[in-house]
Structure 1
């Protein structure tokens, strides 16, 4: 985008007393050069009274010039707002957020980033979460039943009292202090999930069922004796 060149030559009238209803000051003869225009466009701006502080663009600004000003202003937006409403893997920002009780059921959230988010009682029933990251997330009481969690990252995550029935966790990561205590894992597939010995031992005590998608018995995928 061509640069917006602005040269200002302004005269300011004396600021009147607060009680005055006259304009605080008038900005006259600022020359604004817009791409595609052979000569500068005259822009007159006036700051209204102290009571309302309204700003107006005068009639001399053409529609094209106004659009150019709006486009140029985008370069001065706070960078922190640039990702509002859009994350790297989906339509929403979901990393480091409090998403307690949020409904993601049935959604396609492949490689979605939920790192460090609070997802207590969140509903992921039947969601496609291949490669999604739940690194250091709190999934206490979350519903992950029937979810496709292949290659998902549960490292350091709290997955206690969650519903993982019939979920497919093939190749998922569960390193560090990941905990599945109190979770329903009936029919879940833990094939190639690297579990700590204490977690594997605990899950084997409650393991039951066969995953309806892979046909694998939960106890077999956990390598239970």
Structure 2
């Protein structure tokens, strides 16, 4: 029986992380769905009102979307807000006194008109790449992940160390198991000899050779 969409573990996890409850206002949910899916329906990228702070963007994204899609929508809105803020600071009508007050020696110098146009086109291109799903926004990663330039990502150093420790500990455990089996066999042979029941036979000596051979192989593999 398929699980209802609102009951999937990922959605419940998302709601717990954001501290949401099942009594969230329907109007807010509907608004988030309309804004988040407007580009697929109309080809127009909708943005929150300028009165909405960047910290509140997540409230206007459909909570039922998968995390990669929510991330894409958040990047689109943040990029657009950053672009508008940068273009506003570079606008010709901005007074020189304002520029002087905001430039404490650490900010870059104002851009020329040509540079501003290039910046705007670049940022708009990035926003459209995100909206058209041409940029990967997968937040989960996984085995075989690659960096942006196509190179395989370096394996986590801690994972490598953990595997080395696991192999070393498994080698110790196997070695102890072999030694325990040898000691058990030795005690059994000693008990038989003490009771005068029988001496160690050729078959017993062969068993000893097999056990010793396995022990030496395991020691070599662990090193």
Give the TM-score category using the shorter length. under 0.3
In terms of Rg, which structure is larger? 2
Taking CA–CA contacts closer than 8 Å with sequence separation of 6 or more, which of the two structures ends up with the larger relative contact order? 2
Instruction: Write 1 or 2 for the structure with the bigger share of strand.
Output: 1
Question: What TM-score, normalized by structure 1, do the two folds share?
Answer: 0.22
Instruction: Write 1 or 2 for the structure with the bigger share of helix.
Output: 2
